[in-house]
Each structure stands twice: as structure tokens, then as C-alpha cells.
Amino acid sequence: MYSSIDMKSYDAYEPYISSYTMNIHYNKHYKKYLDNLNNLLSKYNYEYSKEELVKNIDIFPIQERDNILFNLGGVLNHELFFSILGYGEMSEIFKNKIDEDFGSFANFKEEFIKQAKLLVGSGYTFLVLNKDNNLEIINVANQDTPNSYGLVPIMNLDLWEHAYYLDYQNERNTYIDNFFSIIDFNKVSKIYEKEIQKNI
Ligand SMILES: [Fe+2]
């Protein structure tokens, strides 16, 4: 049984994301994925973290795997997205890595926004750490998680309509442009630094 993460504050990201959107996103969408996941897993015994469960999805009967993975991805993706919203500054270590892999922060931002605008349908744009310990920007469909591809999620942008439609309607590109005003890069830096510690 997995428990929910806390939401710091629904109105902390105004005016870029309204408290109304955050409330529905957290209490209706995220909680639904979590409830579905816990219900699906209730008849099984396992002792995996959510990330480990992605890698060990084949312990479940084949006809249940897609449904478990969809809801598991829904939980993981939302927990990352909610946790990286905020206003913190980037660490020197993470900033140096961004400069190394993208040339500059400006290039990284431009590339992330470009990829987000290219995503078709529902999904996410992710910054991930690949097997060579380099940062990459990828798009995933629906509730796919980069963990399924051996990639470590560092930050993401939710591009499902439920994430922005109440505030932006069809102006999806404005939502994407505004995202960089509400990223807690201190938190993103910590996620990155924790991951590279594991690989040393
Ligand atoms: Fe969402």
C-alpha cells in the first residue's frame, strides 16, 4: 500500500497554475491513480519501491501488467511533477552538468520547451539521466515512465489537458512557456545529485 505525497500549497503557483487546477489535479487525478494502483496491488505481496516495481512488473500476470503500469506511471509521474514545482535556485553541481550536456541553461530551457511543444496528445516532457550519466530531454506518451526504459527521471512537465485546460484552454504553448517560472531548481538539483551519488 503506497501513501500519497503531501501537497505544499494549492495556491503557491498562481498565476501560472491556479489553485483550482492544483486542487483538482492533486485530489482527483493523482489520488485516483494512487487508489487504482493500491486496489490493483491489494491481492499481492511485494516489497518493492514504486521505481523497483516498474522494473519488476513481470512478477504480475500478463493480463494485469498494462493496467498496473499505467497507474504506477500515473503515480510516479505526478509525484515528481508536484515535487519539482516551486522557486528554488539550482546548485553549482547541477548547473555545471546542464552547461556540460546542453551548452548553457538557455539552451536547455529552449530545448525543453521545444520538445514539450512537439508532444502530441497526452504525456510528459522529461529531463532524464541516461545510462551514461548524461542528461537528456525526452517525451513520453500517456503515463509511461522513463524508469521502464532504464532512464532516471529528474524533472517533468505534465502535458495532459487536465494539467492546464482550466487555466489556459487551447493556449497550451503559454502553459509550457510559463512552466519555467515555477520550477524549484533546488529540488531538481537534489534529485540529480542523489542519483549520481548512487552511481559512484
Ligand atoms: Fe496530471
Domain borders along the chain are: 19-84, 92-198
Query: What is the C-alpha to C-alpha distance for residues 171 and 163, in angstroms, rounded to an integer?
Result: 12
- Confidence check: pLDDT of 158 > 70: yes
The Cβ of residue 138 has, within 10 Å, a number of other Cβ atoms equal to: 17
Instruction: Please classify residue 85 by burial: count the beta carbons closer than 10 Å to its beta carbon, then call 0-12 exposed, 13-18 middle and 19+ buried.
Output: buried
pLDDT at 195: 94
Mean pLDDT on 158-172: 97
* 160 CA → ligand 1 middle, Å: 6
Note if the bond before 61 is cis, omega within 30 degrees: no
Mean pLDDT of the chain: 96
List CB-based neighbours of ion ligand 1 within 5 Å: 29, 158, 160, 163
Q: Kindly report, residue by residue over 68-123, the tens digit of the pLDDT.
A: 999 999 999 999 999 999 999 999 999 999 999 999 999 999 999 999 999 999 99
pLDDT at 79: 98
* 29 CA → ligand 1 middle, Å: 6
pLDDT at 104: 98
CATH topology identical between 19-84 and 92-198: no
Confidence (pTM): 0.96
Beta strands (DSSP E) in the chain are: 123-129, 135-141, 152-158
CATH topology of domain 19-84: Helix Hairpins (1.10.287)
* 115 CA → ligand 1 middle, Å: 18
User: Which CATH architecture fits 92-198?
Assistant: 3-Layer(bab) Sandwich (3.55)
Query: What is the C-alpha to C-alpha distance for residues 109 and 178, in angstroms, rounded to an integer?
Result: 11
* 32 CA → ligand 1 middle, Å: 11
Cell 538557455, residue located: 106
* 200 CA → ligand 1 middle, Å: 33
pLDDT class of 198 with cuts at 50, 70, 90: confident
Q: Kindly report, residue by residue over 13-40, the tens digit of the pLDDT.
A: 999 999 999 999 999 999 999 999 999 9
Q: Kindly report, residue by residue over 35-66, the tens digit of the pLDDT.
A: 999 999 999 988 899 999 999 999 999 999 99
pLDDT at 187: 98
Q: Which helix (H) or strand (E) holds 124?
A: strand 123-129
pLDDT at 200: 61
